[in-house]
Amino acid sequence: MSTSLEEYYSLYTNPLTVIRFYQIGYTFTFILGFLGNTASLLTFSRPTLRKVSTGCLFIILAIFDTLYLLMCVFDYLEFGFKVPFYPHIAYSEFCRFRYFVMNVSQVASAWILVIIAIDRWIRTQFPFKSGSICTPKNALIAVIILLVIDIGLNSHMLTPMFGIDIPGLAYGSCGPNYFTDKPYFLFYYIQWSMIQIFTTCVGPVSFMLMTLVAIFINIYLRKRAIIQPTQTIHGNQNMIRQKQMHKQMLILMFAIVYIQPVLIDITIIWTALGWVQSLNYAINFYIHCLTSTLFRTEFKLLMKNIFRKNQMKVTIIGNLKHNTHAQIINPLAKK
C-alpha cells in the first residue's frame, strides 16, 4: 500500500527545536561561511600568495568549504522553511548527488589541511630544497591524487542503494533503505560510519599532530645549533615567523576536529551535531586571518584596493555628471 505525500508529512514532522536550528543556526553559518570563503578566495588569489603552494591549497580549501555549504542550503530550505521539494524534483537522484558532494568535500577539506601541514614540515626539514618541492604544481598534483581516492571512496552514494528515504524529515530524508537493501543499510550505518570517523577526523588529526611535532623538533634543534650573534638575531626572526605559522596550523588542526554523528534516533541531537559540523566549513578564513600576520596583511591590502577602486568609480561618475551638467548650462548661458 503506497503512502501519499500528505500522509508522509503528517506521520514524520520535525520538532520545533530542529526547525529553529535550521532557520537561525544555519542562517548564521551561511552568512559567516559564504562571506569568509569569498574573502578567502580573494585574499589567497593575490599574486603574493597564489604563487606559493600554501596559498594554492587555501584556495582549494575555500572551494570545497563553499561546496559543502551550498549543499546544506537544500536542508536549510526543506527542514527550516518546509519547502516541499518532493515530488517536484528527482528526489533520489538529487539526494545521491548532494550527499556525495558533501562527503567528498568533508574528506577533501580535512586532508587538504594535512597537505598544508606536510608543506610546512618540508619547508622546515628541507629549507634549501623546499623551493623545488613546495610548488603550486606539486600541491595541485597532491590534491588531484587525494580527490581521486576521495571520489572512489564515496562513489557508493551515487548508486541506487542510496537515495530517498523519508522526504521532509531531518536526517531521514536521504539514505539507505532498510527494506530495499538491508546489507547496504547495515554497512552504511556501521562500517561506513567508522570509515567516516577515520577519514574526516581521526586520520587527519593524527597526521597533523605527527607533522606538528616533527616541525617543533626541527625548530628546536635548529635554534640550539645557532651560535653566532648575528645568526642568533636572524634565527630569532625566523623563529617568530615559524611560530606564527605553526600556531595557525595548530588551530587549523582543531578546526577539523568536529563531533562525528553516530546512529541515534533523537532528531534534535542529529540536527545540533550537523549544525556544529557545518560551522567547520564556515570558519576557516577567520582562523587564517586571526593567526597569520601575512594573511592579515594581504587581506587588508585587498580591502584597501577594493575601497580605492570604489572611490575612483565614485569620483569618475561625479566628474562625468559635473561635466555633463556644465555642457548643458554653458550653451544656455550663451543664448
The model's pLDDT over 224-279, given as tens digits with 9 standing for 90+, comes to 776 444 444 445 555 555 555 555 555 555 554 443 334 334 445 555 566 666 77
277 in Cβ contact with 261 (< 8 Å): yes
**SS3 of 169-226:** CCCCCEEECCCCCHHHHHHHHHHHHHHHHHHHHHHHHHHHHHHHHHHHHHHHHHHHHC
- The residue with greater pLDDT, 133 or 223, is 133
260 in Cβ contact with 197 (< 8 Å): yes
> So what's the pLDDT on residue 102?
93
For the chain, what's the residue count?
335
- The residue with greater pLDDT, 303 or 45, is 45
CA–CA dist 204, 104 (Å, integer)? 14
Tell me the pLDDT tens digit for each residue of 92-138. Answer: 999 999 999 999 999 999 999 899 889 988 988 888 888 889 999 99
Return the closest-CA partner of residue 42 out of 55, 33, 53: 55
Q: Give 1-165+177-291's CATH code, choosing from 1.10.630.10, 1.20.1070.10, 1.20.1260.10, 3.30.56.10.
A: 1.20.1070.10
| E strand or H helix at 122 | helix 91-125
Return the closest-CA partner of residue 63 out of 48, 47, 41, 42: 41
Tell the residue number behind the cell numbers 595548530, with chain if given: 250
pTM for the whole thing? Answer: 0.76
- The residue with greater pLDDT, 304 or 230, is 304
Longest dimension (CA), the chain: 92
> So what's the pLDDT on residue 149?
97
Contacts of 261 (CB under 8 A, 6+ apart): 171, 270, 273, 274, 277
Backbone angles phi, psi at 238, to 5 degrees: -65, -40
Tell me the pLDDT tens digit for each residue of 51-66. Answer: 889 889 999 999 999 9
Helical packing angle, 26-44 and 53-75, nearest 10°: 160
Q: What is the mean pLDDT of the chain?
A: 78
CA–CA dist 282, 39 (Å, integer)? 11
156 in Cβ contact with 162 (< 8 Å): yes
Tell me the pLDDT tens digit for each residue of 138-194. Answer: 999 999 999 999 999 999 999 999 988 878 777 778 889 878 888 999 999 889 989
